[in-house]
Structure formats: structure tokens, C-alpha cells
Amino acid sequence: MNIGVLALQGDFAEHIATLRRLGAQTAEVRLPKDLDGLDGLIIPGGESTTIGKLAVAYDLMEPLRQFGREKAIWGTCAGAIFLSKDARRDQPLLGLMDITVLRNAFGAQVDSFEADLHIEALKQATQTEAPYHAVFIRAPIIESVSGSAEILSALPDGRIVAAQQGKLLATSFHPELTDDTRFHQYFLSLANA
Ligand code: GLN
């Protein structure tokens, strides 16, 4: 497996470290040619407006859309926003996933929180029962999914925090900031499918 991590801004180094722990080859993606030969791509957390503006500046928008039509892409937090088709404000979006997101839905940085989630797809893929401990930092919620996008996980109050559409994944939270590698394992299985 050769997995790229979009390295324009945000916590790409943490994703690369987790992928290496799982034995994947990794590449930092900054230019369109960096996508060549990759099996999948992770778009990290950070600031979605900044990631979008830099992607426009580096002529990455169309190459990323083309990549996502065939291969696996996973966006965490800001990356999930960038994958969406609607963030309810004007900013560059890939529009690959049929999800509408609401940015900073839980408030400011101080309102960051952690929660245990039950994610059936993850349990099945990794043959484990333990809940998934998720870290939310100025996180978006996924307000709605449409088309062929499906809900992967929601908070107890019903707010959606993970979605999947074929080989595309969006999570409001940051699996790269914990020791639990199950979400990255799950993504590798999609990239390998
Ligand atoms: N609040 C950021 C945004 O709207 C996302 C935060 C994050 O990636 N942790 O882009």
C-alpha cells in the first residue's frame, strides 16, 4: 500500500506516523505529480479554508477530484469539510462527497471534546468490540448525507460525525491523534479494495 497525505497545511505528520506504524508506504502530496502511483490519499485536519486556497494555488483541485473518482480518499476534520459538496459558505471544496457540513459546529477551540463512538463498520473490519475513542477539535458536524453517502457514526444525540461513500471517508474527529490505529486500518482496507 502506498498512501499519500495531503501536506499543504495541518497535521499531516501525525497521519504519516500512524500509517507507517501499520506498515504502509507513505508520500507527502503537495503537487499534482505527487499523486502518481498512490493507492489512497488522506486529507488531514487543519484549516479547511487554507487547505482549499493552497490546493487552488498549486493546481490540485482537478487532479484531486480525478483521483477521488477512482481511489480512496479520507478527510479528517478540515479534510472532511474539503471533501464535501457543501460547507454552507464560500470556500474551495472538492465536492466529491454528497455530504453537507457545518463548520465549527461545537463552538470554539475550548469546546473541543472526546467521546466514545460505536462504529459498526470499524468493528467488523478489525474484528474488535471496543468503542472508538474520538477526539474532536473545533470539529464540523455532518449535517446531512445524500445520494450514495452513508452514515458511519453519530453521537448519542444523533449528530453525524462519520460518513462513507464508496471509497470516500469523512470523519469530524482525528484518529491520527490517538494510539488507536483501527480507523487507519479501515481506510487501508478501502484503499486495497
Ligand atoms: N475548524 C476547522 C475548519 O473549519 C477544522 C478544525 C480541524 O481540522 N481540527 O476548517
| pLDDT tens for each residue of 159-173 | 999 999 999 999 999
Question: Mean per-residue pLDDT for 135-152?
Answer: 96
Is 78's C-beta closer than 6 angstroms to any atom of ligand 1? yes
How many Cα neighbours within 13 Å face the side chain of 97? 31
Query: Where are the chain's structural domains?
Result: 2-191
pTM (global) more than 0.85: yes
Distance 92 CA to ligand 1 centre (A): 14
User: For residue 109, what pLDDT is reported?
Assistant: 74
Question: Mean per-residue pLDDT for 88-105?
Answer: 97
Task: Decide if 133 is catalytic.
Answer: no
Task: Supply angle C-alpha 163, 103, 34, rounded to 5.
Answer: 65
Task: Decide if 14 is catalytic.
Answer: no
Is 104's C-beta closer than 6 angstroms to any atom of ligand 1? yes
Task: Decide if 176 is catalytic.
Answer: yes
Distance 116 CA to ligand 1 centre (A): 20
Distance of CA 95 to the CA centre of its chain: 13
How many Cα neighbours within 13 Å face the side chain of 101? 35
Question: Mean per-residue pLDDT for 120-129?
Answer: 91
User: For residue 92, what pLDDT is reported?
Assistant: 98
Catalytic one among 47, 129, 133, 174? 174
User: For residue 130, what pLDDT is reported?
Assistant: 94
Confidence bin at 103 (pLDDT 50/70/90): very high
Mean pLDDT of the chain: 96
Question: Mean per-residue pLDDT for 27-35?
Answer: 98
Class of domain 2-191: alpha beta
Query: Looking at ligand 1, which residue's alpha carbon is closest to its atom 2?
Result: 47
Is 177's C-beta closer than 6 angstroms to any atom of ligand 1? no
